[in-house]
Amino acid sequence: MTDKHHFECVDCHAGYPGDQVIYLCPACAASNQPGLPPRGVLKTLYPYQKIREMHSGSSLFDWLQHERFLPLLPLHTMASWPRLQVGNTPLYRLDNRDSVAGTAAKEEPPVEPVNSMMEDGKPDFKLFLKDDSQNPTLSFKDRASALVSAWARENNIRTLITASTGNAGSSLAGICASQGQESVIVVPAAAPLAKLTQILMYGAILVPVRGTYDDAFDMSVEITARHGWYNRNTAYNPLTVEGKKTVAFELFRQLDYQVPDRIFIPVGDGVIYSAVCKGFEDLLKLGITGRMPVAVAVQSEGSSNLIANLGRPFVAVASKTVADSISVDVPRCFHMTANYISEYHGETIVVSDGEILSASMQVARTAGIFCEPAAAAAYAGMEKYRRLGIIPAGSTNVVLLTGSGLKDLNAVQSSISMPEPVRSDPVVVDAFLNKHKRSRS
């Protein structure tokens, strides 16, 4: 094993050196079957005790920040990191359900506002929105793409490939463009046009396939074997979890070095869920924190194959949901996510497409953040918890908003009504305004 890091299979716990291209544990992957979540997903581990000895006490997290968390990343230097600003996204505090009370600066914890009252008169809980639509390609996926690209750069790899419903593909394409690397993106042909446009604008080779995300995933793996390109596929490449876990480090800092009580996470493959847990687990192993947050996995009713199969033999149901970014038949990070849910008492909730679209509208109109349906799913999960009365008063809760609404404009067309044009006449415009004001009163 290298001193820097090594990989461990989440199923058989075999260890593998961290300085080689490896995707799944070879022993476990040999028995993988089509239509079932893959065995052999690898977890990245570090010499935690050695890191603790380098800087003990309260100074450890400050030192890690100063080092840009390099000791907890599978890189040798941050010089290989893309020059685009990935991560350090804003955290917003909602004081009540009607307005944004404040923002957490990128380098400072948020100011603590006074709790408001909910509609039922009970004390409000603390609610924060982590807006990862502010990443360079407008999605959370940039965190994974940046690390995969940086590792490829350190190892003189020029061509990278991934399967995607759109966000991971546009993310890898954009990050590779900034690094002078080539990218090949395999997508289902039905992916949103905005995401496909992004991919082409970044100069990637776009391969649309007739079929689902799972078909695109399998094709990208086959192409990888044929051409030897470096595959970024979610969960398949263990570095995707490592890139995404950085959101946990940021949340800990932005919440004034406190662990939130709950984090609501949109779930498709399960990688973001596992990554959030992995980030806080790293801090726990280093003694920086004394507990884990409760991570809530939120899925759409039309694509709940991860939640529905926990604790039972896996049976995939064809996915159909407005939230295309979390539309997955076979969750590739199923076993790691299931382990985290079990070990750290995670929670799950399923929401309808109607609840997702309603949440998207609510976030846009109360917080001024236009998020895509997959991101709104996390907020819909929080709202369902609130309605059920299971969020403790005074608790600290975070919703991960993972992508911009500009990624998929078609998804929200049913929620809005585009007005007909009017004659450019002050009297006519006034009548138009009065009509719309009355309709909103």
Q: Is residue 117 part of a domain?
A: yes
Give the number of domains in the chain. 1
pLDDT band at 191 (very low <50, low <70, confident <90, very high): confident
* Stated pTM of the model: 0.91
Q: Is residue 309 part of a domain?
A: yes
Residue 183 and residue 176 in contact, taking contact as beta carbons nearer than 8 Å: yes
Beta strand 99-104 with 91-96 is antiparallel
Residue 372 and residue 405 in contact, taking contact as beta carbons nearer than 8 Å: yes
**pLDDT tens, residue by residue, 91-135:** 999 865 444 443 443 333 333 332 333 444 444 899 999 999 999
> How does DSSP assign 190-235, residue by residue?
TS-HHHHHHHHHTTPEEEEESS-HHHHHHHHHHHHHHH-PEE--BT
Residue 323 reports pLDDT greater than 50: yes
CB burial of 45-72 (b: ≥16 within 10 Å; e: otherwise) equals bbbeeebeeebeeeebbeebeeeebebb
Tokens of residue 148, six digits: 């995969």
CA distance 327 to 126: 30
**pLDDT tens, residue by residue, 361-376:** 999 999 999 999 999 9
**Residue 369, domain CATH:** 3.40.50.1100
Tell me phi and psi for residue 328, to 5 degrees.
-140, 130
Helix (H, G, I), strand (E, B) or coil at 154: helix
In angstroms and rounded to an integer, the radius of gyration of the C-alpha atoms of the chain is: 22
Amino acid at 240: T
**pLDDT tens, residue by residue, 39-90:** 999 999 999 999 998 876 558 999 999 999 999 999 999 999 999 999 999 9
CA distance 313 to 395: 35
Q: Is residue 225 part of a domain?
A: no
Q: Is residue 286 part of a domain?
A: yes
Q: Which domain holds residue 383?
A: 91-137+241-415
Closest CA to 86 of 158, 176, 181: 176
CA distance 395 to 383: 15
Long-range CB pairs of 106-113 (<8 Å, 24+ gap) are: 109/253, 109/254, 109/255, 109/256, 109/257, 110/254, 110/255, 110/256
Closest CA to 353 of 324, 328, 318: 324
Long-range CB pairs of 112-116 (<8 Å, 24+ gap) are: 115/394
CA distance 59 to 65: 10
pLDDT band at 411 (very low <50, low <70, confident <90, very high): confident
Residue 37: enclosing H or E segment and its boundaries? none
Number of other residues whose CB lies within 10 A of the CB of residue 193? 12
> How does DSSP assign 261-275, residue by residue?
SEEEEE-SSSHHHHH
Instruction: State the pLDDT at residue 352.
Output: 97
Long-range CB pairs of 64-72 (<8 Å, 24+ gap) are: 64/249, 65/249, 65/253, 69/246, 69/249, 71/46, 72/46, 72/249, 72/282
Burial of 123 (0-12, 13-18, 19+ CB in 10 A): exposed
Q: Is residue 402 part of a domain?
A: yes
For 399-411, what is the mean pLDDT?
A: 88
CA distance 402 to 399: 9
Instruction: State the pLDDT at residue 56.
Output: 65
The share of the chain scoring above pLDDT 90, in percent, equals 79
Residue 276 reports pLDDT greater than 60: yes
Tell me phi and psi for residue 93, to 5 degrees.
-100, 125
**pLDDT tens, residue by residue, 244-259:** 999 999 999 999 999 9
Instruction: State the pLDDT at residue 38.
Output: 96
Q: Is residue 119 part of a domain?
A: yes
- First-to-last alpha carbon distance for the chain, in angstroms, is 66
Q: Is residue 69 part of a domain?
A: no
CA distance 323 to 410: 11
Q: What is the mean pLDDT of the chain?
A: 90
Residue 273 and residue 265 in contact, taking contact as beta carbons nearer than 8 Å: yes
pLDDT band at 263 (very low <50, low <70, confident <90, very high): very high
For 23-47, what is the mean pLDDT?
A: 96
Helix (H, G, I), strand (E, B) or coil at 350: strand
For 166-194, what is the mean pLDDT?
A: 94
Q: Is residue 392 part of a domain?
A: yes
CA distance 118 to 104: 22
pLDDT band at 220 (very low <50, low <70, confident <90, very high): very high
Instruction: State the pLDDT at residue 58.
Output: 59
Residue 225 and residue 245 in contact, taking contact as beta carbons nearer than 8 Å: no
Tokens of residue 157, six digits: 């790899």
